[in-house]
Structure 1
Amino acid sequence: MEIGSIYEIDPNTFSDAAAYDASVFTLKEIKKYNKIHTAFTGSGREAIALALKAITKNRPNIRKTALLPAYMCDSVFWPFERGGWELHFYHVDKQLEAEKENLFVQIENLNPGLLFIHPYYGSDTWKPLRPMLKTWQSEGICIMEDVTQSYYLADTEWNADYIIGSLRKWYPVPDGGFAVSNEPFPEEFCAGNRSFIETKLDLLTKKWNYFHTSCSPEEKQEQKKAFMAKNREMEEWLDHYEEISPLSKESMQILSGLKEDQYKNRRNENCRYLLQQTIGKTKFSPVFAKENTIESVNAPLYFPVYAENRDDLQKFLVSQGIYAPVLWPVGKENEKLLTQAEQKIYQQILALPIDQRYGLSEMQYIAQALIEYEGVKSPCSDVPCPLPQIQDTKSEVIAIRADANADVATGHIMRCITIAKQLQKKGKKVLFFTADEYPFELLTKNGMEYVCLHTPWNQMEEELPILCRELKKHGCWKLLADSYQVTVNYFDCLRKVCKIIYIDDCFTALYPVDLIVNYNAYHLRFPYEKAYKGKARLLLGTSYVPLREEFQLSACPSYKTTGTLKHVLISCGGGDVYNALYGILIKAVENRELSSCIFHVIIGSFNKNAAKLEALAKEHPDIMLHYNVSNMAELMGQCQIAVSAAGTMLFELCAMQVPTVFYVCADNQQYDSDFFANENRMLFSGDIRQNREACIDKILTNIILLLNDENMQQQMKRKLHEVTDGKGAERIAEEIVNL
């Protein structure tokens, strides 16, 4: 697990940035400042530079003397120096509040033209002195406020003349800063630096690939070294950049798609959790530990702590994969002016990552690392421990390890959700563990709790330390695994922590597990009984097909379609890697023999071709797109026939007795062709991976054949009825409970 460091960028979030309309760009959070003019820049320091130019132009007689806090990033000083401003500093205390007496004396003696204020780490550290701002403004002092660490700060009077901030510190963008004011900004933008933007995008997408592609640990390390070195190079270049660039269209496009409220809530949750975990420690303590201060903290940039030996703590956290930056190194402009309290701030403060990439599991991981650093033995040690004797079986937590993304079909996690619901009915708590956040919407929709491991989905052995720790932490002594990426060593390690149930579709190895499930009819191809005799309990055959309750025959009403129109259901799973839906539909709408058909098309959560399908549906009213179908059985029951990729959905169609045309698109589906095609249970159209066009043509031929042969449809229905009764999930859950 890695927590912190630079953001990664999904390359799909800025695919057509050149066409983005910059004139409509805005951000909800910036509207709260209630200023007339807004300017978006390449960085926070460029926003300062633009604001200073505006001040000089709007207030030509201003004294170019600026009073800034002594605790500040030195990059803030540079725009002032380049603009010919004389810098002076006021002091701050350990709570990061301005020292009132010192500030008043400085203002009286200097009569500065500009006062620069900075609410630190999501707390309005200027709240006690905000009433004075209007007084100083009436005396001709311009107030500039930097909200870079407190972008989400709320319930505050935003009465500064200029408010600036960095956006690139908060979000996965190559550049970003802003300035707002009631005074106009000059047109001081240069053309922008495309080389910087393109290089930055390249390195941040490389970090995305670092997390989401598979390669050896050595290659991973080389990738990381490369993009981190390039990032340092780009930041050094920016330090010497004196132009003012406009915000890039790539950043606008990414920012316009962000869920700011959701991100704010996530940061607040993370902040509150770490606050609870860090109070009362001896080697470190939260900066904002006073009761009245805690309540005022709003979704900060980082969670700050004071550490007795800051560098030692930082190194320890790095060894645990946690990257906490030092904010900030002392600048040459103020290094000789610091009070003893300010020197300690610079020497002891460390910023813990709490941004929106992370949730409870990552915060627990950070808290556990801090506890270990404190010297308290961790209950989540990686040292293997024997399985505990659980006395109260009602309180046990059953873990499920599954993924769903553009490469992993949603059928895996859906069948696990079905089993999970049956476990919940039996009074068990269920907790999902996923490699990434892709399945969260699906899990949330189904009321499931989950923990994100933030690990490569296709390199499962890399997740073992964190997964073992999380299993112990949450009291999970049984684990249901559903992935083709598992290894014998993976299960060997996990078996030291919990009992293991594995859904095994392919019999690729003899796994050290306690319970094997293969509900496919083709399980007879494999020597399960001989291989696992005396080693694992076996649940084999179609009586264990884990269909959702809506497909249980006792609960399903009999739907009938009336009228001359023929309704055809088409589904290709969650991702549709081979773009089968579009290929089928574009030919179907041009085929006269299918002119009386209505095509009900299920769009999976990870379908990258949804936009093309939507455009096609707009041109052809006989195409009806369905998203997030809440009752699949009902939709199936309204259709005369179906087209589907092989997999669990074929069993669902059996339960609903829907005559079906199917094809194969994955290794685990290849044996389905034998069983379902046998005795004409369904019509097989080939493997789309081998010849896409031929497979699609065969699908169209079989659709026409099946629609025109009602006798074949009736024969299919009788045979499909015999395949499953839909109660497999209940049987699996019972076996897991009794394991």
Structure 2
Amino acid sequence: MNVFIRVDASYEIGTGHVMRCLTLAHRLKKEGKTIAFICRRAEGNCIDLIEQQGFYVYKLPTCEGSLWTYVLEQWETDAKGTIEILQQHYVKKLIVDHYSIDVKWELAIRPFTKKIMIIDDLANRQHDCDILLDQNFYLNKDARYDGLVPPNATLLLGPNHALLREEFIEAKKYIQPFKGKIERLFVFFGGSDPTNETEKVLLAIKPIIDQYKLIVDVVVGNSNPNKLKIKRLCNEIVKAHYHCQVNNIAELMTQADLAIGAGGATTWERIFLQLPTIVIAVAENQIEIAKATHQKGVCIYLGLYNEIFIKDIQNAIGEMLNSNILINKMISNMENFFTSGSTE
């Protein structure tokens, strides 16, 4: 086995880590690499999805309580379970995308792989790695990992290294110029949406959808614990279309004039497709990214989920609906973001 990927998903963690690792896995597979995943069982995991996409998954046992906390506190157990898998193979590279894994775990794993690649965006712990990828945009991105990685580690920093799926690269060819009026909304808060922002947005849209003659595409993942509730709410709203675990999300984005979503990995997909967005951070680690992209004029950041109410969302949508200047300015800022914005 050439490459192993250690990543988890759950209701608590969400699906973003797995989704970006799947994007990377497909790229490596095209290059002729053999890929396998190592995932711990948990409620809301993406193991079936990974297997459906053609990759073998080595499954670590289910843990009690928080998956984040378990891997952080029981790192030796997690490393031991991973080593038992790795030592059966010749491993050229181990890719790790996990906020609870740091230098201690990596040093234990080091004898069983030629190279270690870390995917991160927190810059809050030390790593023993050969490559570190952080696809996010920060105003201080070039200095964030100073002292946290070995001096000879290769750093891949900024959205120019974003793990964009092939469907987004293809969809970019079909972007249409803004028609001068917002007619279609795209709502997506990640695969699990643990704070249920989707419902909050739908309740904000419901009283104004007829007034503005809007069409709304609502996307949820299979791991969203509120998906049936969201589906019922969409059925109550005329021209609100419910989509669950779709494989044409890029197409839906290109059809939209305005998105409302979280500040995670989808940020780069929206910017790449030049889709103006109202952002609500659903986790603390999304705040810095959302503020930085807001400052660059490529989104409107409202705040952290527990500070944002239905009326705030309504007001933000209303402002966007009544300001073509703002929409056009955001689109203009997004046009060159991947070539210039990430290097400033």
| 1:480 maps to 2:87 | no
Secondary structure of residue in 2 paired with 1:528: coil
What is the CA–CA distance in structure 1 between the aligned matches of 2:139 and 2:7, rounded to whole Å? 21
| 1:411 maps to 2:16 | yes
Is the alpha carbon distance of 1:496 and 1:551 closer, same or farther for their aligned partners in structure 2, counting shifts above 3 Å? Answer: same
| 1:510 maps to 2:119 | no
Checking the alignment, whether the CA contact within 8 Å between 1:686 and 1:698 is kept in structure 2 is: no
Secondary structure of residue in 2 paired with 1:476: coil
Match in the other structure for 2:258: 641
Secondary structure of residue in 2 paired with 1:662: strand
After the TM superposition, which residues 513-662 of structure 1 pair with which residues of structure 2 at under 5 Å, given as runs?
A: 513-522=129-138, 524-525=140-141, 526-529=143-146, 531-532=148-149, 534-552=151-169, 556-559=173-176, 566-591=183-208, 595-662=212-279
Match in the other structure for 1:707: 321
Secondary structure of residue in 2 paired with 1:583: helix
Match in the other structure for 2:48: 441
Match in the other structure for 1:279: none
TM-score by length of 2: 0.88
What is the CA–CA distance in structure 2 between the aligned matches of 1:550 and 1:685, rounded to whole Å? 29
After superposition, give the CA deviation of every residue in 1:61-120 in whole Å (9 maximum; x if it has no partner). xxxxxxxxxxxxxxxxxxxxxxxxxxxxxxxxxxxxxxxxxxxxxxxxxxxxxxxxxxxx
After the TM superposition, which residues 223-242 of structure 1 pair with which residues of structure 2 at under 5 Å, given as runs?
A: none
Q: What letter corresponds to residue 655 of structure 1 in structure 2?
A: F
Secondary structure of residue in 1 paired with 2:190: coil
- With 422-431 and 505-514 compared, the bigger mean Cα shift is at 505-514
Match in the other structure for 2:335: 721
Bigger CA radius of gyration: 1
What is the CA–CA distance in structure 2 between the aligned matches of 1:443 and 1:592, rounded to whole Å? 37
What is the CA–CA distance in structure 2 between the aligned matches of 1:591 and 1:707, rounded to whole Å? 11
Secondary structure of residue in 2 paired with 1:434: strand
**Share of identical aligned residues, percent?**
27
What is the CA–CA distance in structure 2 between the aligned matches of 1:527 and 1:648, rounded to whole Å? 19
| 1:677 maps to 2:320 | no
Cα shift at 1:405? 1.5
TM-score by length of 1: 0.42
Cα shift at 1:560? 6.5
Cα shift at 1:634? 0.8
Secondary structure of residue in 2 paired with 1:705: helix
Q: How many residues get paired?
A: 328
Q: What letter corresponds to residue 687 of structure 1 in structure 2?
A: L
Is the alpha carbon distance of 1:641 and 1:667 closer, same or farther for their aligned partners in structure 2, counting shifts above 3 Å? Answer: same
Cα shift at 1:672? 1.1
Cα shift at 1:604? 1.6
After superposition, give the CA deviation of every residue in 1:394-419 in whole Å (9 maximum; x if it has no partner). xx520001112111121111111111
Q: What letter corresponds to residue 316 of structure 2 in structure 1?
A: N
| 1:400 maps to 2:5 | yes
After the TM superposition, which residues 27-42 of structure 1 pair with which residues of structure 2 at under 5 Å, given as runs?
A: none
Match in the other structure for 1:469: 84
Checking the alignment, whether the CA contact within 8 Å between 1:573 and 1:645 is kept in structure 2 is: yes
Cα shift at 1:519? 1.6
Q: What letter corresponds to residue 572 of structure 1 in structure 2?
A: F
After superposition, give the CA deviation of every residue in 1:413-433 in whole Å (9 maximum; x if it has no partner). 111111111101111011011
Q: 2:304 aligns with which of 673, 687, 693?
A: 687
Q: Which has the higher contact order (CA 8 A, sep 6+)?
A: 2
What is the CA–CA distance in structure 1 between the aligned matches of 2:211 and 2:58, rounded to whole Å? 46
- With 643-652 and 433-442 compared, the bigger mean Cα shift is at 433-442
What is the CA–CA distance in structure 1 between the aligned matches of 2:133 and 2:51, rounded to whole Å? 26
Checking the alignment, whether the CA contact within 8 Å between 2:39 and 2:60 is kept in structure 1 is: yes
What is the CA–CA distance in structure 2 between the aligned matches of 1:470 and 1:630, rounded to whole Å? 31
Q: What letter corresponds to residue 497 of structure 1 in structure 2?
A: F
Is the alpha carbon distance of 1:554 and 1:581 closer, same or farther for their aligned partners in structure 2, counting shifts above 3 Å? Answer: closer
What is the CA–CA distance in structure 2 between the aligned matches of 1:561 and 1:704, rounded to whole Å? 17
Q: What letter corresponds to residue 409 of structure 1 in structure 2?
A: G
Is the alpha carbon distance of 1:621 and 1:445 closer, same or farther for their aligned partners in structure 2, counting shifts above 3 Å? Answer: farther
Q: What letter corresponds to residue 475 of structure 1 in structure 2?
A: Y
Match in the other structure for 1:168: none
Checking the alignment, whether the CA contact within 8 Å between 1:567 and 1:640 is kept in structure 2 is: yes
After superposition, give the CA deviation of every residue in 1:331-364 in whole Å (9 maximum; x if it has no partner). xxxxxxxxxxxxxxxxxxxxxxxxxxxxxxxxxx
